[in-house]
Amino acid sequence: MSKYRELTISILGGGGEIGANTIEVCYGSEGILLDCGIHPKKEGYEALPEFDMMSRFPDAVLVTHGHIDHCGGLPYLTRLFSHFRVHATLPTIRIMERMLHNSVVVMSTLRRERGIVEYPLYNHEDVENLIEVTRAHLYKEIFEVSPHGVIKAMFNPAGHVLGSASILLDIEGHKILYTGDISGGYQELLGPYEPIEWLDCVDTMIVECTQGAVDERQVNPYFDEALNLAGAINEVIDRSGSVLIPTFALGRTQEIANILARLQEEGVLKKVPIYLSGLGRAIYEIYEQFKEYLNEKSILRPLRSFRKLGNVLDKNVVNQLIGEPSIIIATSGMMVENTPSALIAERMVMSKHHGIFFVGYVDPDTLGYRLLTSEEGDKLAFQLDAEPVEVKLRNIRRFHFSGHAYRSALVKLIESYNPENVIVVHGDPPALEWMREHLKDNYNCIVPGNGEKISFQV
Ligand SMILES: [Zn+2]
Ligand SMILES: [Zn+2]
């Protein structure tokens, strides 16, 4: 009998795209999932990972961080079977709990407003059941994740958002490093990923490549871009306008709030009130609870430094808000219809003296993108059931802040662990293609699609 056994890595989501990121790792009779996300652009059951491709029920799910494309499918998994554990860092567990309860609310609203009968895919009780089976781990702590202890794991700081981690797996000597979402540079609150110093090489790396198509030399460095943003905001304030910054609730909200607060303290940015919206505030509280996970040199301002948005469903509240110069940081980042950023933008675009500044990725299929590329006089609907509004505002721009490593940093990261196999996931086609071209000569480089299985003898 051969002493080798087969190790299989199956891509259940996030292959060839940024989707419902979920990777199954099976060895002998043991199996785990790395992340279990939900597709940010699909709806209903379509948004779930390809659970029917799973070889077996997982013994455990390891979660890299709390973005919904990495953990949004988990409560649904508890409906399919209940005998598994979830492992994550403590901040990620707290964030995940908050994000998933919010998903239930969003899905229930979509069912009401748009008649998507499959929604909600799970309820609050499913989220609570999930949190029950979750175990917290410190960074760099090695723990067993399969019943017979064959698969060992470790979380390592990834620099992406609070509590985010890469995952190192050791399966009878075969080492797999899954980057999760990873940042190579300093952000306002987080330092870059940390190398695993005692580890010279790994056998297989699974690498995200969100920014794989971007040459770092062609984008403004993070802190220079912060100054550009401040300059653009000052111009709007000088005209007595207000600025809307649509943001993701986790990561970008806390970053931008603290960048702007610092620039106000330094006298670079004019002192006007800064407002933060609901889910962004809730996640901010978790940042406050786990300050020790942030870069030790960074200063997290108390949440009370930022004002609360009122009920933005009320037009009078929004009109009052933008009647005085202010900066409004509001979800959602890509301005999905009916979210606070869309409701505020709906009033702002009627005049010319405001500014709407995007600070993250804006997908071409979203209202945010349509607004960003709109021309004067175009009509856009900001609410699903309301009349379109004529866009008079022209000061609509995008600034580049990223919590993901650019391509040179990704290649450097891969080189530092000298793996035999590199599996590239979590990217748009140009990013995946660039990675394939630049890795194929030195590594066994695989760019799998969803549903693909990759096997090694271990
Ligand atoms: Zn992420
Ligand atoms: Zn992601």
Domain ranges of the chain: 6-215+403-457, 221-398
Which residues, including other chains, have CB under 8 Å from residue 334's CB and lie 6 or more apart? 246, 360, 361, 362, 363, 366, 367, 368, 369
Q: Closest ligand to 159 CA?
A: 1
Please state the pTM of the whole predicted model. Answer: 0.96
Return left, alpha or beta for 126; rule: phi > 0 is left, psi -120 to 50 is alpha, else beta: alpha
401 Cα–ligand 2 center, Å = 15
Q: Closest ligand to 402 CA?
A: 1
pLDDT score of 87 more than 90: yes
Return the beta strands (E) in 247-290 as ranges: 274-276
**What is the C-alpha separation between 293 and 136, in angstroms, rounded?**
14
**What is the C-alpha separation between 119 and 108, in angstroms, rounded?**
6
pLDDT band at 2 (very low <50, low <70, confident <90, very high): low
Q: What pLDDT does residue 23 have?
A: 98
321 Cα–ligand 1 center, Å = 31
Near ion ligand 1, which residues have CB within 5 Å?
Answer: 67, 181
Is the CATH number 2.60.40.1260 carried by domain 221-398? no
418 Cα–ligand 2 center, Å = 24
pLDDT score of 330 more than 90: yes
Same fold, 6-215+403-457 and 221-398: no
37 Cα–ligand 2 center, Å = 9
Q: Closest ligand to 248 CA?
A: 1
Q: What pLDDT does residue 438 have?
A: 96
Look at the domain 6-215+403-457 and name its fold: Metallo-beta-lactamase; Chain A (3.60.15)
pLDDT score of 78 more than 80: yes
Task: Say if residue 429 is exposed, middle or buried (CB neighbours under 10 Å; 0-12, 13-18, 19+).
Answer: exposed
111 Cα–ligand 1 center, Å = 26
110 Cα–ligand 1 center, Å = 23
pLDDT band at 361 (very low <50, low <70, confident <90, very high): confident
